[in-house]
Structure 1
Amino acid sequence: MQELILKGVSRPHRIPPYLYNKLLIKLGVKQWGKKGPSVKLAELRHKHRDYPYSTTSIWDYDWDLLVVLDACRPEWMRAVKGEYDFINTIETIHSVGSHSEEWISNTFASEHSNQMAKSAYVTGNHYAEDLEHSALKEFKSAHDFGSWAYDSASPPANMITDLAIRTARQKEWSKLIVHYMQPHKPFLKRGNTREEYTVDKESLGHLLYHRYFNGELTVADLHAAFTDNLRYVLEEVKLLLENVHAPKTVITADHGQAFGEDGLYDHIPGVKHPSVREVPWVKTSAKDTESLYPREYEAADYDNKTVQENLKKLGYL
């Protein structure tokens, strides 16, 4: 704050544009255009409503391996069920968060420290960085490895799989949580190998929704695009389940994704609505066939500017 004040004193001509930009963000215009005020009103309304469903912590269930898909709706899982042998019955639960930051905060709270002390968490999510010094038995973040940050706003799925398999084979944990960033946008398309991918630039930030508001895309188009991104990550989940020993495995999500239900879009913390709270709960199993030797990644230290740019691409800023 002090630095901000000093900047204002030295460059007073920049104060009005700064305040105007802040106002546009507050009204949602920066993110949603003309729809901004109505979206913000819907968010406010559903932050202060009573939620008719009980939310469930992952720690309330018995599992060895928990695969977390970021921003995955149950119907997307149902749409691809017939394409993957490891997806059978698709149940649902209501998440403790409507946004990754909220889910992480509630899931890894101090009240769960006993379970955390026996658990390893491998993640590609930006909001998990503070868990490095938590009660977790082991914490591994994709943000500490590789050069992906300069190509994509979120870690590619193959990187999470590699890090998770290496962690799993150490066998120093009772529970393993593997948090992929897909099907959350941006949308990634696999190349000729599992390491190769391209990023759909139209899926960065809020561009996708602006195209929908302009009539270029339908709700069905949005669902189809996210479902394809789910297919992208499930190919890596398939490999994970073939290279980890975990008889009790569950595939779930941290939160859902809103597409206009009751005026809501995307996802922010604190919203109490099934579109962002109801997530899949798929029971399966994993067996280490040693069919994959995971790649090693060099350590990397990204500057704050890169982190902020990636958060913008994800639609968080």
Structure 2
Amino acid sequence: MNPLALLPDRYSAENVRRVLRNPRLLRRELFTVALTANSRTRDVLNALERTDDGIDVIAADWDNLLILDACRYDLFAARATLEGDLREVRSKGSDSGEFMQRNFAGRTLHDTVYVTANPHVHHLEDGVFHAVVDLLEDRWDEAAETVRPEAVVEEAIAAHERFPEKRLIVHFMQPHFPFLGPTGQTFAHQGIDADLENRDPGKANPWFRLIYDDDVDVATVRRAYRENLDLVLPHVEDLLEALSGKSVVTADHGNLIGERGFPVPVPMYGHPRGLHRDDLLAVPWLEVASTDRRRVLPEPPVDGRDNPDEDVLERRLTALGYA
């Protein structure tokens, strides 16, 4: 009996031969195996330690929740000069989709308006929020392949004026790549593509290039990531000054920058879904107090978000490394 017959289809004899002939494909497969082992081990440890609950952001006390995408707690603590009380909390998800599913899905949040530059909002069912302001269509920057932070600020202020009696969630895409700072401009951004044999390796997202390629400098990618946070923070400060009520600045998840996995000690980068490590789930929670609290009233949903063209959504997800 051929032992390969016992393996999944992706490990057919033909696919195994193809992988062995291509060092980049081999590295991808080895990393995938390591990631699976590390994730399952982490799940067992979390179950034993009961440490995987994370903060329920909806139940917390705020009028405005400003979310930075893929922002590590330690990076925020070192770079941010925003006034407020900062502490470290544990996120419910290691990527945006998991964060949204565990915090928003299945809830009735009709006292809340969600302004977002993150495409995972389209994986939530309709009617969760009073309104969703989706910036992927009208405020997408084709050159940058993301929504710039100044556009998020403009739309958030407009939503606050339109819905003065609602809680407001504002989801920036930075410091998540594409990297917009001077170092980031040296990268030819493109989301990860499953076709590793034929795609241009120079255009893969930088975190995946650290996993699969030899031509990327770790320090350069870290610097570009840091610059992306530096770039968004002034816009966050502008928005804090423009909004009434109590504000919290947080992140949906962190980002690995080379920490070794367990039990397979490979360097880990990015934010793989389901990898519930403390250093990936640790995010900032900065409370900006205000005596001017908002009067919040729940009302039925309005202006249901338009479902974007599937091709457009796929391109947005790819540009941000999700597809």
| TM-score class normalised by the smaller sequence | 0.7 to 0.9
Deviations 1:123-178 (A, max 9, x none): 00100024472231121110231452x32332111111111000011244331100
SS state at 1:143 partner: coil
Between Structure 1 and Structure 2, which shows a larger proportion of helix residues? 1
Shift of 1:55: 1.1
Shift in CA distance, 199/161, structure 1 to aligned 2, threshold 3 Å: farther
| Counterpart-to-counterpart distance in 2, 1:277 and 1:161 | 26
| Structure 1 pair 258–227 and aligned structure 2 pair: CA distance change class (3 A) | same
Is 1:208 the counterpart of 2:206? The answer is: yes
Name the residue aligned to 2:256. Answer: 258
TM-score (norm 1): 0.73
TM-score by length of 2: 0.72
Please state whether the residue corresponding to 1:260 is helix, strand or coil: strand
Q: Is the alpha carbon distance of 1:171 and 1:305 closer, same or farther for their aligned partners in structure 2, counting shifts above 3 Å?
A: closer
Contact residue 112 and residue 169 of structure 2 kept, 8 A: yes
Per-residue CA shift, 1:207-249, capped at 9, x if unaligned?
424257626423x444332121011111211211122112x11
Aligned to 2:296: none
- Asked whether 1:69 is paired with 2:55, we answer no
Change (3 A) 1:239 1:221: same
Deviations 1:29-76 (A, max 9, x none): 489476444344333433444264341110231111110000000111
Note the residue ranges of structure 2 that are not aligned, 5 or more in a row: 1-10, 192-203, 293-304
Partners of 2:73 and 2:282 within 8 A in 1: yes
d(CA) in 2 for partners of 1:300 and 1:135?
14
Q: 1:144 to 1:167 in 2, by over 3 A?
A: same
| Structure 1: unaligned runs, 5 residues or longer | 1-15, 191-197, 289-298
Select 1:97's aligned residue among 73, 93, 110: 93
Distance 2:307 2:139 in 1: 9
What's the offset of the Cα at 1:271? 1.8
SS in 2 for 1:139: strand
Question: RMSD across aligned C-alpha pairs, in angstroms?
Answer: 3.4
Counterpart of 1:128?
121
Q: Identity percentage over the alignment?
A: 25
Separation (CA, whole Å) in 1 of partners of 2:229 and 2:250:
12
**SS of the residue 1:227 aligns to:** helix
Residues 1:109 and 2:105 aligned together:
yes
Matching residue of 2:6 = none
What is the distance in 1 between the residues matched to 2:291 and 2:144?
31
Query: SS at the partner of 1:189?
Result: coil
Contact 1:256–1:278 at 8 Å: present in 2 too? Answer: yes
Q: Residues 209-288 of structure 1: matches in 2 within 5 Å?
A: 209=207, 210-211=209-210, 214=214, 216-218=216-218, 220-246=219-245, 248-261=246-259, 262=261, 263=266, 264-285=268-289
**In the TM superposition, what is the alpha-carbon distance from 1:284 to its structure 2 partner?**
1.4
Seen in structure 2, the aligned counterparts of structure 1 residues 118 and 300 have a Cα distance that, compared at 3 Å, is closer
Q: CA deviation at 1:89?
A: 3.6
In the alignment, the residues of structure 2 paired with residue 135 and residue 300 of structure 1 have an alpha-carbon distance, to the nearest angstrom, of 14
How far apart are the structure 2 equivalents of 1:244 and 1:203? 33
**1:189 is aligned with what amino acid?**
G
Aligned mates of 2:154, 2:185 — CA distance in 1: 20
- Aligned AA (1:107): N
Give me the whole-angstrom Cα distance separating, in 2, the residues matched to 1:211 and 1:255. Answer: 20
SS of aligned partner of 2:34: helix
